[in-house]
Amino acid sequence: MNSPEDNSQFERQRPVYLEINFQIICAVVLIAVIGVSSVTPAFPKLAKDLNINPKNLGLLITVYTLPSLILGPIIGVLADRWGRKIIIVPSLFLFGIAGTACAFARDFNLLLWLRLLQGIGAASLLSLSITLIITITASQLGRLARRFSATNLISASYIFYALAMLIVPSMSNIWLLLIPSTTFGIGLGIGFPSIQTLLADLAPREYLATIISINGTFFGLGQTLGPLLMVYAFGFGGISSVFYAATGFAVLIFFVFRYCTCV
């Protein structure tokens, strides 16, 4: 018969993906992410049904990501003081209620206000969930992380980003778009976790939620400014210029991170 010590050791050796807490947190991350990715495919129909200029559809992303830009540092401080669960649970309710109301909106201005409320609910979900995942998986590193440093993985991710954006305009049919989509996904898959790992290594444990939330603030800044800036690129040279501009940004960030930082 196994002793309590043996049982506890067995529990610690279980793969992290089998832990119910980890699975719940991953579901929260999924909810936070679909607030953008699940809406953009509906943009053409929204423009038609609500009779709005397609150029204004980017505001649906901007107002959604704006709260994370403003509330990110505040949420981090409150989470470090009160606990992450106390912040995440009400945020989930607000996200769900506002998101459901969006489905019944028939006025674009009302839809923008509802998206703003949904964004307030989502502001804490991604950053605090990542903080919890880092806490759970602090002692379990992936194979890539054991072989390559986080800084090298982050640098590689921007190469993948640039390559994906560069080849999109040359794709002649929708199936070929799987090539840049997969390339971009690889970059995101190795870059985003590596950034969180690097921040976790640099941040004091008692301020981890605050640091991750500040990082989420800059993530929200990019999502907020991106649609607004790319409108000018679109007006300058059409849809292809949007992807070429994104390529330029990726290359710029690669050189800044690679040669202008001390990590």
Taking the domains of the chain in order of start, what are their residue ranges? 4-259
The CATH number of 4-259 is: 1.20.1250.20
User: Angle 223-87-185 (CA atoms, 0-180°, nearest 5)?
Assistant: 35
Please report, in tens digits, the pLDDT of each residue of the chain (263 residues total): 445 444 444 444 566 667 777 777 777 777 777 777 778 888 888 888 888 887 788 888 888 888 877 887 787 778 777 877 788 888 889 998 998 998 888 889 999 999 999 988 888 876 676 666 666 655 554 555 667 778 888 888 999 999 999 999 888 877 888 888 888 888 887 887 788 778 877 777 777 777 777 777 787 777 778 877 888 888 888 888 889 999 999 999 899 888 877 66
pLDDT score recorded for residue 11: 45
pLDDT score recorded for residue 137: 56
Q: 3-state class of 205 per DSSP?
A: helix
pLDDT score recorded for residue 112: 92
What DSSP letter does each residue of 149-190 carry, written as one string? -HHHHHHHHHHHHHHHHHHGGG--STTTTHHHHHHHHHHHHH
Q: Considering the entire predicted model, what is its pTM?
A: 0.58
Q: Read off the tokens for 258.
A: 């690679």
pLDDT score recorded for residue 85: 79
Burial of 150 (C-beta count, 10 Å sphere; 0-12/13-18/19+): buried
End-to-end CA distance of the chain: 49
